[in-house]
Amino acid sequence: MNEFIPYFIVAFENMQNIGLGYRKDKFEFKRILLNGKLIYEDRVLLTKEFRSLNYMPEFKENNIKVNLKTPLRIKQDGKIITKNLNIAKFLRGIKRHYNLIKNIDEKVDYIPKFREFTQRLKFVNLNRYSNRQRKKYEFGGVVGEFKIFDLDDEGIKLLELSKIIGAGKSTTFGLGSIEIDYI
């Protein structure tokens, strides 16, 4: 992924000239930091050596409460869920997302181990209008919380990762943002 950073920078530079959104709002960016290190400033790439951030989750407890800060839009059995989440399929989806980011091409057969799973979820429908396509889109998803007791270490790592990358569909629109509390 790091080899694409110069391409992202060129894309940002082009976006400065075009503008953002339907009003083509102009903006200017002067510098880019990657993992706290300055890599670009005043239209000059300062380094060609980019190191990935190694994220290590902090394990506090195996009992976790997950708050869905924004609607979670996820398909299970071919349909967007409206109330009941299958936690095993949810965690496998996060694992598939991780493999996609890391360019790992393998079947995900992870089966989480846990003692108990409870959920309090409700469906919320959001709408988005595309000016370009002149069409209204529905972005519904579930909000609320769920608790997992005695979850295995792999499941905890996946939930910690989803705090950063989001979970489910339409994360680029801000959906699937979660917060984790250890209980």
Q: State yes or no: pLDDT of 55 exceeds 90.
A: no
One domain, residues 81 and 129 = yes
One domain, residues 142 and 70 = yes
One domain, residues 96 and 36 = no
One domain, residues 38 and 118 = no
Instruction: Quote the tokens at residue 116.
Output: 């108990």
Residue with more model confidence, 41 or 1: 41
Per-residue model confidence as pLDDT tens digits over 155-172:
999 998 898 888 988 887
Question: How many distinct structural domains can be found in the chain?
Answer: 2
179 confidence band (pLDDT: 50, 70, 90): very high
The answer to whether residue 51 is domain-embedded is: no
Helices in 62-176 by DSSP H: which ranges? 87-101, 153-165
One domain, residues 86 and 141 = yes
> In the predicted model, what is the mean pLDDT of residues 82-107?
90
> In the predicted model, what is the mean pLDDT of residues 51-80?
82
Strand ranges, E, within 31-133: 31-34, 37-41, 44-45, 64-72, 75-76, 79-80, 116-124, 127-130
Instruction: Quote the tokens at residue 124.
Output: 């919320």
One domain, residues 33 and 90 = no
**CATH number for the domain harbouring residue 113:** 3.30.70.1900
One domain, residues 40 and 68 = no
One domain, residues 40 and 118 = no
For the question of whether the overall pTM of this predicted structure is more than 0.85, the answer is no
One domain, residues 73 and 26 = no
Predicted local distance difference test score (pLDDT) of residue 143: 94
One domain, residues 28 and 82 = no
Domain extent at residue 38:
2-45
Question: At a CB cut-off of 8 Å and minimum separation 6, what does 56 contact?
Answer: none
The answer to whether residue 54 is domain-embedded is: no
The mean predicted confidence, pLDDT, of the chain is 86
Per-residue model confidence as pLDDT tens digits over 98-152:
888 888 899 989 999 999 999 999 999 888 788 888 888 888 899 999 999 999 9
